Amino acid sequence: MNNIVFKLNNIGKVYNENEKNELTVIKNLNLEIKENEFLCIVGPSGCGKSTLLRILAGLELPTEGEIYYRGKVLRKPTKDIGMVFQNYSLMPWLTVEENIALGLKFQNMPKERQKERVNEYLEMIGLTKFRYSKPYELSGGMQQRVAIARSLANNPDVLLMDEPFGALDAYTRIQLQKELLRIWEKYKKTIVFITHSVDEAVYLADRIILMSRNQGAIEVDIQVDIPRIRDRANPRYAELNQHLLDALEELNKGQ
């Protein structure tokens, strides 16, 4: 059952077209993302990772080529494609439970069922006690948990994540990586995950792609077949880590 979720055909993205500050970020990019795949995107800063993810979310339209989501051209955001932003994306005026219920409210789900769903996800992220708290009362890690719960409560088909753990300390980050894998296995989502950290990619991904600043070209595209739960002490883990770091360094040299 290897259905294709996303298919990108010769995607190009030019910002400020026909202006002095015109900038080609992505050119001729081809990519297929399969169902249930955990795809990590790594690459130097400014290479167009976020741009690509925003195109997948329907928040940005490609200036060239087509993007298909489950066989249909994607033109705007949909509730089936969820996204977790790097930080501060919770509605600051809503409580934790209201934030988690937000998507359900947009779908006009009956109040009773909203409540059940919210309880389930509060439990999942272990923040039931904080259901009446406002986002500013939570730590960064807790806020990201809520943001993830908010996306998942909406039961999306795909979850896009743009450096969701980038602003967290090392320990919280590792905790959340574990939680995310657990969630991914339980709910069987397709996940596209951007990270600066090669280690994070190797720990999480089924497949890793490395983008370069050369118009967002995909320089490396590898499957990670280390069994989960991955052990950072495993020699193959270290080897892959090193291989990717070398490739990344090579890319940075070329700039």
Partner 1 sequence: MGISSNTLINMEKIRKEQGLTWLRMINMIKNNTMENKIRRSISFVAPTIIPLLFIILWELFARKVGNNAILPQVTTVAKHFININADVIGIGSIPKNILYSLVRVFIGYILAIIAGLPLGLLMGYSRRVKGALNLFISLFQPVPAIAWRPLVLGWFGVMSVATIFDLDYGPTYAIMDNFKLSMIFLIFLSAFFPIWGNTMFGVSNVQQVLVESALVLGASKKDIFFHVLLPGAGPNIVNGLKSGLTAAWSCLVAAEMLPGSMSGLGYLISHAYELARMDLIVAGIICIGVIGALFDGIYSRISDKYFSWQRLVR
Ligand X SMILES: Nc1ncnc2c1ncn2[C@@H]1O[C@H](COP(=O)(O)OP(=O)(O)OP(=O)(O)O)[C@@H](O)[C@H]1O
Backbone angle region of 10, left / alpha / beta, with phi > 0 → left and psi within -120 to 50 → alpha: left
| 8 Å CB contact between 15 and 27 | no
Q: Does residue 175 interact with partner 1 by CB under 8 A? A: no
Nearer Cβ to ligand X (49/230): 49
89 binds Mg ion (CB under 5 A): no
Rounded least distance, CB 60 to ligand X, Å:
8
- Residue 192 makes CB contacts below 8 A (sequence gap 6+) with 6, 33, 39, 41, 53, 56, 158, 159, 160, 161
Q: Which of 53, 48, 44 lies closest to 14 in space, CA to CA? A: 48
181 to 62, 77, 155, 233, 252: CA distances (angstroms): 30, 25, 16, 18, 30
User: Is residue 195 part of the contact set for Mg ion (CB under 5 A)?
Assistant: no
| Of positions 132, 182, 228, 239, contacts partner 1 by CB under 8 A | 132
Contact (Cβ atoms closer than 8 angstroms) between residue 158 and residue 5: yes
What's the closest the beta carbon of residue 198 comes to partner 1, in angstroms?
A: 26
Closest residue to ligand X using C-beta atoms: 50
17 binds ligand X (CB under 6 A): no
Window 141-160: contact mask with partner 1 (x via CB under 8 A): ------x--xx--x-----x
Q: Residue from 20, 72, 129, 253 that binds partner 1 (CB under 8 A)?
A: 129
Does 172 participate in binding partner 1 (rule CB under 8 A)? no
- DSSP-based three-state secondary structure for 239: helix
Window of 45-53, 99-107, 212-220, 227-235 that interacts with Mg ion by CB under 5 A: 45-53
CA-CA distance, 184 to 72, in Å (whole number)?
A: 25
Question: Residues in the site for partner 1, rule: CB under 8 A?
Answer: 57-59, 76-79, 81-83, 85, 88-93, 102-103, 105-107, 129-130, 132-136, 147, 150-151, 154, 160
